[in-house]
Amino acid sequence: MIADFLLIDNSNSFTKFSLAWRDRLGPARKLPTKDVTPAAVKKTLGRWRWKGVVLSSVVPEKGDVLERALATTPVLRVSSKLQLGVGIEYPKPATIGADRLANAAGAFVLFGAPIVVVDFGTAVSFDIISGAGNYVGGVIAPGLEAMTDYLHQRTALLPRITLLEPPSAIGKSTKHAMLAGAVYGYRGLVRQILKEIGKDLGIPSNMPVVATGGYAELIAAGLPEIKVVTPNLTLEGLRIIAGLNGM
């Protein structure tokens, strides 16, 4: 069966591909972004067939590679110039990342407004849609993995760790201590940023928040402020944008 769309989320660490129909996502595959070449893309997609491509890219060089490699069908590259289903109340719309626009589009349709999207990727981004349905801005902070990798790279004795829930706040080994610092500390960072966003929006409590990205489930497990985790929010947003722009 030929899918309506091939959706591509080209982010800093991984590039995700998903077939989609107008009303649902289909199977997904991914490729390390550093390995994106025409040959690697062809191998990853295999025998998949689609009518059009929707591309979100925050890595311009790799985005160009993807666009050229898939130009045998129409390619819609996400930008602030498209119909997104949300308004944009932001001084320089062209500077908003395509993934953040896709998240905003997906969150607005799936959850309504106001809504805050927290995307736990290479960086963690917070994107805010006001009660009027407008994208009004956001926050960007270092990603969880970037912080722990930095400790490993800049110290002689601290190891690279696999991130998971620490057994307690008081570390009984170097690894345990690093996990506690990373996970509990990161939850504190996210909690405080959400608190400040709520103040600015005039929603001091029970603000609607949705999380996505690689470490969303881990961090959200200890943050009641995050109401729901939607792993494929960016892809859902690309599917919605495709429909809004006549693909």
Positions annotated as catalytic residues are 99
203-233 b/e with 16+ CB inside 10 Å = b? eeeebbbbbbbbbbebbbeebebbbebbebb
Task: Return d(Cα 240, Cα 106) in angstroms, integer.
Answer: 7
Give the contacts of 118 (CB within 8 A, at least 6 positions apart): 124, 125, 126, 190, 194, 209, 210, 211, 212, 213, 216, 226
Distance CA 119, CA 104 (A): 11
Q: Hey, what amino acid is at 23?
A: D
Contact (Cβ atoms closer than 8 angstroms) between residue 98 and residue 135: no
Give the span between the Cα atoms of 93 and 103, in whole angstroms.
15
Cα Dmax for the chain = 57
The DSSP code sequence of 212-239 is: EETTHHHHHTT-TT--EE-TTHHHHHHH
C-alpha angle 244-64-68 in degrees, rounded to nearest 5: 85
Q: List, in order, residues 6 or more apart from 39 with CB less than 8 Å away.
A: none
